[in-house]
Amino acid sequence: MASDPDEVLLEFTEKMEKAVGHVQADFASVRTGRASPALVERIKVDYYGTEVPLQQIAGINVPEARLLVIQPYDKNAMKEIEKAIQSSDLGINPSNDGQVIRLVFPQLTEERRRELVKLVKHMAEEGRIAVRNLRRAARHELEAMEKDGDISADELERSEKELEKITHDHVAEIDRMVEHKEQELLEV
C-alpha cells in the first residue's frame, strides 16, 4: 500500500490512463468506412501452431482510403492470414494474388453506422465505469490511510478533491473520444 496520498493519486491516475487507452484501442478496432491498420493488426493468426498478432508476421499498408494491403513476410503464412481475416468480425473477404492480400472496404450502410455508434457508446460506458471503479478503490485506500492515522482529515479532503478532478478529466477524455468516433462513423 502507498505511504502518502500523492502516491495513491499517482498510482490511480496511471491506472485511469490505462483504462482510457483501452477504450481508445477498442475504438480503433471499430470499422468506419475507411481502411486502417488498427482494424487488422491484432487479428490472431495460426503461424506454425502459435497464435500471433497479424502485425508481427506481415506488413500492413493503406494505399487508398478504402483499401488495406497486407504483405506477409513469409509467403507460406498467406493461407492462414486469409483464414484468420475471414473468421474475424471484420465482415470482409480478402483477395489474394500470391504476393499480397487486399481488403476492400465497402461503404457502410446507414443502419450499420447506427449499430456501430451504439457499440462505440457501449465501449465508452464500460471505460467510464472502469474509471469510476478506480476512483472508488482510490477513495477506499485514502480513507483507510486517514482511519489508520497516516493522514489528517484535511489531507483526506484535499486528496479526494484532487481524485475527483482526475476522474472528471479522464471521463471527459473518453467523452471527447466518443464524440470524435461518432462523427467519424456518421460521416459519409
Instruction: Name 23's Cβ contacts closer than 8 Å, sequence gap at least 6.
Output: 123, 124, 126, 127, 174, 177
Asked if 94 and 102 touch (Cβ cutoff 8 Å), the reply is: yes
Q: What is the pLDDT of residue 184?
A: 84
Q: What is the pLDDT of residue 28?
A: 81
- Collapsed DSSP state (helix, strand, coil) of residue 90: coil
| 109/117 Cα distance (integer angstroms) | 12
Per-domain boundaries in the chain:
5-28+109-186, 37-104
> Superfamily assignment of 5-28+109-186 in CATH?
Ribosome-recycling factor (1.10.132.20)
Count of C-beta atoms within a 10 Å radius of residue 110: 9
Q: What is the pLDDT of residue 188?
A: 61
| 49/52 Cα distance (integer angstroms) | 9
**pLDDT by residue, tens only, the chain of 188 residues:** 557 899 999 999 999 999 999 999 888 877 677 778 888 888 899 999 999 999 999 999 999 888 889 999 998 899 999 999 888 877 788 998 988 999 888 887 888 888 889 989 999 999 999 999 999 999 999 999 999 999 999 999 999 999 999 999 999 999 999 999 998 888 76
**Identical fold at 5-28+109-186 and 37-104?**
no
pTM (two decimals): 0.71
Q: What is the pLDDT of residue 106?
A: 80
List the CATH code of the domain at 37-104: 3.30.1360.40
